[in-house]
Structure 1
């Protein structure tokens, strides 16, 4: 055997476990890049992102006779699941890939205290919102005063911007049991309603934002980690 090869073999034998682990890991990484899982069919258990055609399709009304059907109730269950998973304050059916006029909203006191400071709560007139499923919503503006606040969206992952919204609205629709209801909302609750109504009408907050204010709130973390970071879903603010 060539005398120059012997030391190399000895080194490999000494580090065989490390070498095998390193090679196996690299092979898995390479292979995973070739084999991709098949995309799921709507309704998704994740939130789709800007660019998906569903976000730019005007949602269709749900026939009232279909509200109690298994299909619609399953969609509502998916919305609730995804909303909890990503800690959302509002989520529309188009955001899980189904262009139907349904959205849910809610903000517990626990989530309010977790995501906002007392100063923010006072400045934005925030308050807890009872969980609500809204089907075939109709909205009427009751106070046309425009309020500009920072807003984000789970379908525009990792970014925020200043967005003008009306102060107060009236909301009518059906709940998940098919019963009609109406409510008046102002402040942050009215903002959530307007945001979700936009989704049903194929609009995003980026369509009406102050373009110069668009930013990534995690930009410092990106720099600190030399770009090796995945932008998280940010709560609706």
Structure 2
């Protein structure tokens, strides 16, 4: 895995604020950033592991991308601009493994889209799917209001986006990388997604409504952007807030 992604994993695996800043700012800037992070508590409390967790990591080593979990906000890989997949990589087993993991995690989490950076790999690869079962789980009123339509699995490599209808539509939105939170986010009404399939063949997809929202959300991930960067901050909500009050 490391051979294929090479230096691309470097930013995705940086675990300390000082290391990230050293990459971007140099040693002097890294020291300043590290001090600021410590003052502001960005590093959080010391992480504790059980004895068996410690032994397991000692024997197996730390997990490596593509992860079987979704990276959470704070992981530098989510703020990295993803690199394009090289033509020679398209038919390679490592890209196939990445795609299989994307689809596996997306379906296990019952979400409708996932990007490679969310599994720790800063490459331009998206998996999107709105299966009929999830579609039917939404009420008819919700489907109509949010202009929902189911669609089969689509995997797009090196995607690009073109806006077809610039009207902004605002609805609540969440993200597996900001788990447990929702906020209202404005998105364009209709877009066109272009890129390559896994055979290297060009693909184009025109979408509107909820499907266009899903596409725009996942495309943002490839630019190091999260929905919290575009949200109406007054609507930012912990989905468990009512449980706390019970």
Provide the residue aligned with 2:28 in structure 1. Answer: none
Q: Unaligned stretches of 5+ in structure 2?
A: 1-47
Change (3 A) 1:31 1:97: closer
> Going by fraction, where is helix more abundant, 1 or 2?
2
Partner of 2:243: 221
Give the Å deviation of 1:34.
8.0
Runs of 4+ off more than 3 Å: 33-37
Larger Cα-atom Rg: 1
Partner of 1:199: 221
Per the alignment, residue 32 of structure 1 pairs with 50
Which structure 2 residues correspond to residues 57-76 of structure 1 after superposition, within 5 A? 57-76=80-99
Structure 2 length-normalised TM? 0.76
Alignment partners' CA distance in 2, 1:85 and 1:183: 25
CA separation of 1:31 and 1:92: change in aligned 2, threshold 3 A: closer
Q: Does 1:177 align with 2:199?
A: yes
Q: For residues 135-172 of structure 1, what are the alpha-carbon distances to aligned partners after superposition, in whole Å with 9 as ceiling and x for unaligned?
A: 00011001100000000000001000000000011111
Deviation digits for residues 170-225 of structure 1 (CA, Å, limit 9, x no counterpart): 1110112221111211111110110001000000000010000000122112333x
Q: Tell me the TM-score normalised to structure 1 length.
A: 0.79
Residues 1:70 and 1:148: Cα distance change in structure 2 (over 3 Å): same
How well do the aligned residues superpose, as a CA RMSD in angstroms? 1.6
Unaligned runs of 5+ in 1: 1-29, 225-237
Match of 2:108 in 1: 85
Q: Which residue, out of 31, 49, 54, partners 2:72?
A: 49
**Higher mean Cα deviation, 205-214 or 35-44?**
35-44
**Which residue is 1:4 aligned to?**
none
CA apart distance, 1:129: 1.2
* Equivalent position to 2:126, from 64, 82, 103: 103
Q: Whole-Å Cα distance in 2 between the matches of residues 31 and 128 of structure 1?
A: 41
> 1:1-28, CA deviations, whole angstroms, 9 ceiling, x for partnerless residues?
xxxxxxxxxxxxxxxxxxxxxxxxxxxx
- Alignment length (residue pairs): 194
